[in-house]
Amino acid sequence: MPRSSAPPPAGRTRRPRVVLLPGDGVGPEIAAEARVVLGMLAPDVELEERPIGAAAIRATGDPLPEETLAACRAADAVLKGPVGDPEFDAADVRPEQGLLRLREALDAYANLRPAVSGDVDVLIVRELVGGLYFGARGVRDDGTVFDTCEYHPRLIERLVRRAFTLARSRRGQLTSVDKANVLETSRLWRRIVGEVAADYPDVRVEHMLVDNAAMQLAVAPQRFDVIATENMFGDILSDLAAAVTGGLGLAPSASLAEGGPGIFEPVHGSAPDIAGRGIANPAAMLRSLALLLEHALGRIEEARSLARAVEHALAAAPTPDLGGVSTTAELGAAVREQLALTVSKAPA
Ligand code: NAD
């Protein structure tokens, strides 16, 4: 997808741009921690803040205002808090529509969901803009309701290539998950994985049926490195992987585009039940920031330092969702303290 921003003038590099969308509920509380940490780890980044979701509906009537979308298109990455507010549950214009439109507008097709805990380190790479969730749907005259799963080979190939490239940068093992014993789209998927594999001879490939993959993830998650799969299978398997490795509350995600900005966001929602109390766990948001540093800005070292600092802070200053008593700000402070110890070039 072409970038809407003009390239920097020849011979000059512009500062990286990140748009922060705090979102709703606990979003602004956890976004505040991410803003400070980003300033600490990447002080050269230009940070712009824009509304999305319920906050944007209240301000403009639109969950994804034109100015917000334009800023996102022109950025190198989007760091997003959760959206959603019970006030709009029955409304025609809902906060979540802003997120779906943003994903579609940026063509953020590769959804990365890492699940890490102990000896488990799985990266699920889920196709995000095709398949059953986007196929033709409707109601027949006899009352039958249908959704269709459709995949153009191009959509599969770009996702699969991304997954192979990621596997190459990790432990070199790719599990392609499908339902090729039943579905045509899965047979196409399997064929394309086989073709693309020829370009990645250093990556070991296995094909696994989705029902078996679910079982293996539950009983032996440490056997996986990268899992590549289509939209709905990935939706379900990634929540299972998150549950196996500590719960949705801690899980980050990255939704990457081709050449354009990606969207980095926690998997959890806006947690209206605890919003405004300063006790939300900012870990998923900070881990999403680590993914942004790695995948959008190429700052691998800073990303790893942040991931380690979050791990450390979760043990040292857990929030109430983990059985602790720390506030959002206290966990954030513990992360920064740890970073100050480990990042050699941390600015004063
Ligand atoms: P939720 O994830 O917001 O909350 C589920 C439970 O987890 C709640 O008890 C909540 O307090 C807890 N929780 C979630 N995040 C937490 C955190 N960071 N720290 C501590 N506890 C946390 O799910 P829900 O209640 O089903 O959804 C609430 C709203 O969020 C809905 O409007 C939903 O549509 C929206 N939502 C948005 C996204 C997104 O923006 N990507 C994702 C999921 C849900």
Contact 301, 342 (CB under 8 A): no
Q: Which atom of ligand 1 is nearest to the CA of 30?
A: 18
Please tell me the predicted confidence (pLDDT) of residue 13. 74
Report the DSSP pairing between strands 77-80 and 226-229: unpaired
Our answer to whether residue 211 is catalytic in this structure is: yes
Nearest CA owner, ligand 1 atom 10: 271
Smallest Cα–Cα separation from 106: which of 19, 191, 40, 11?
19
- Residues 24, 85, 225, 235: which is the catalytic one? 235
Rounded to the nearest whole angstrom, what is the distance from the C-alpha of residue 302 to the centroid of ligand 1?
A: 28
Nearest CA owner, ligand 1 atom 30: 269
**Residues facing 205 on adjacent strands:** 174
Please tell me the predicted confidence (pLDDT) of residue 207. 98
Please tell me the predicted confidence (pLDDT) of residue 117. 87
Please tell me the predicted confidence (pLDDT) of residue 9. 52
Nearest CA owner, ligand 1 atom 32: 84
Radius of gyration of the chain (CA): 20
Its pTM stands at 0.90
- Residues 62, 76, 80, 179: which is the catalytic one? 179
pLDDT along the chain (348 residues), means of 10: 45 85 98 98 98 98 98 98 96 94 94 93 95 93 97 98 97 98 98 98 98 97 98 95 85 95 96 97 97 96 96 95 96 97 60
Rounded to the nearest whole angstrom, what is the distance from the C-alpha of residue 276 to the centroid of ligand 1?
A: 14
- Residues 107, 121, 239, 321: which is the catalytic one? 239
